[in-house]
Structure 1
Amino acid sequence: MKLASVSLLCVAVLPFCSASCSSVNGAAIDLIKSFEGFVPSPKPDPIGLPTVGYGHLCKKPKCTEVPYSFPLSTANADVLLKSDIIPFTNCLDSAINNSVKLNANQWGALVSWTFNVGCGNVKSSSLVKRLNSGQNPNTVAAEELPKWNKGGGKVLPGLVRRRAAEVKLFQTPSSAQAHPSCD
């Protein structure tokens, strides 16, 4: 099942979603899924944190907060990913000034990054500070995203590849506006 957008989930499931664009395009979903990988049953990620599905970080022992039985089906993992992305799109939206205009690919690349590094890191990042100061988004992404290549204090080859893929997606033109609001 190809996931084109997560915006409807916001309306249908979570009342706290912002009115801004919370959709994430299919290219970004595919990027996230390819780097997170599908994990049908809870297991430690490269730095030892228990995960399941496509990068769902377990909050309880044995991932008991997940409303599906293990092993997960890919369909249930897709639904879990869509649900997991929403707080990260909201975080990113609140961190980036409305004066910053981003297309769907730029937004999607930053959602992938936010999903991977967490909201606190995004809000305090020089990437967000530079975007908010009006610097060229393509330059900022190319210079800042590759810096986020460590897990547990070590450079991880998977994060190096992920950041390169996020830069590539960010710099791929799109006519669809995603921030500060959808087309």
Structure 2
Amino acid sequence: MASQARAQCVGPEVNSASINLIKEFEGWYPDIYVDPAGYPTVGYGHLCSDSSCSDVSYSIPLSEADGENLLRDDITNFQNCITWQTASSVVLNANQYGALVSWAFNVGCGASESSSLIARLNAGEDPNTVAEEELPRWNQGGGQVLPGLVRRRAAEVELHQIPTDVAALPACS
């Protein structure tokens, strides 16, 4: 029964501050390129299913509007994984939630699900403390600290700690 309720639950949309953070750190590429990990990519960090990005339903090179639409299509998965991975007792505002969606967009839902960050939130720890301590740990690529990831994690922590009365989670009971 819980898995059925989970499947019907949809993560809320992230706010514009979260979209802008993701866009800033992913960068804009209207044409297909190979990312540092060797994957064909287009737009704002869309990982393609093949070298021609045949999974993309927009014309390549992308217009900026189509690139943002593709990002919003892609981000739905990460909104859902943060929503589904956090316990219904976890209360996050829109900035906290958006920062975590940005992080999941970058590291993947599998990594976020098995993370101590999600475990600590689910254990009832203070979300701002957890973000401040856990997000900066996700700063490596290929076993090396990457300055871009250090900056991204700092920006995610900063967004996470901006107060707002706009609630995001829990989204479902």
Confirm or deny a common fold (TM above 0.5).
yes
Consecutive unaligned residues in structure 1, runs of 5 or more: 1-15
Counterpart of 1:162, as a letter, is R
**1:71 and 2:71 correspond:** no
Q: Distance in 2 between matches of 1:62 and 1:38?
A: 18
Residue 164 of structure 1, aligned match among 151, 154, 162:
154
**1:27 and 2:10 correspond:** no
Residue 132 of structure 2, aligned match among 124, 133, 142:
142
SS of 1:52's partner is: strand
Number of equivalenced pairs: 167
Are the aligned partners of 1:20 and 1:179 in contact in 2 as well (CA < 8 Å)?
Answer: no
SS of 2:30's partner is: strand
How does the TM-score come out when normalised to structure 1?
0.87
Are the aligned partners of 2:117 and 2:135 in contact in 1 as well (CA < 8 Å)?
Answer: yes
Are the aligned partners of 2:40 and 2:50 in contact in 1 as well (CA < 8 Å)?
Answer: no
Residue 71 of structure 2, aligned match among 74, 77, 81:
81
Q: Distance in 1 between matches of 2:167 and 2:43?
A: 29
Deviating beyond 4 angstroms after TM superposition, the runs of 4 or more aligned structure 1 residues are none
How does the TM-score come out when normalised to structure 2?
0.92
Residues 5-64 of structure 1 deviation map (CA, whole Å, 9 limit, x = unaligned): xxxxxxxxxxx9743442100000000000001011111222222210001011122211
SS of 2:32's partner is: strand
- CA RMSD after TM alignment: 1.6
Counterpart of 1:24, as a letter, is V
Are the aligned partners of 1:21 and 1:180 in contact in 2 as well (CA < 8 Å)?
Answer: no
State the partner residue of 1:49: 39
